[in-house]
Amino acid sequence: MTSEKRIIWRPTWPDQPNDEAGRDPLNDICQLRVHQDRCPEGRMVWLWAANFTTLAIAHGSSDTIEEAKASAEEAYFDRLQSGPLPKIGGGWRP
């Protein structure tokens, strides 16, 4: 993961304190999200997802919000380093 901390995290919805969205000010197709939910076993976990506007990168769950944010950021920055980004507009297809 890059050592540069540039992801900006904000509440996704004003009335949902356990739901945050992350954005990269240098890349407007970055979509990161963490939110708390109950897993099938009944315990509360933090779900995370890292996406581009047109491409799912990765998702998972963590025990804490800090771990969830770190996992989403790591997946995002790993994908940035792995090759060209998807194109926006014009019907990009995988």
Structural domain count, the chain: 1
4-16: pLDDT as tens digits: 678 999 999 999 9
Q: Tell me if 90 is assigned to some domain.
A: no
Q: State the burial class of residue 50 (Cβ atoms within 10 Å of its Cβ: 0-12, 13-18, 19+).
A: buried
pLDDT at 35: 97
Q: Tell me if 88 is assigned to some domain.
A: no
Chain centroid offset of residue 39 CA: 19
Domain that holds residue 20: 8-81
Q: Tell me if 22 is assigned to some domain.
A: yes
Q: Tell me if 60 is assigned to some domain.
A: yes
What is the helix (H) or strand (E) element at residue 49, kind and residue range?
strand 44-52
41-77: pLDDT as tens digits: 999 999 999 998 778 889 999 999 999 999 999 999 9
pLDDT at 94: 38
Tokens 């939110």 belong to which residue? 35
Q: Tell me if 32 is assigned to some domain.
A: yes
Is pTM beyond 0.85? Reply is no
Q: Tell me if 24 is assigned to some domain.
A: yes
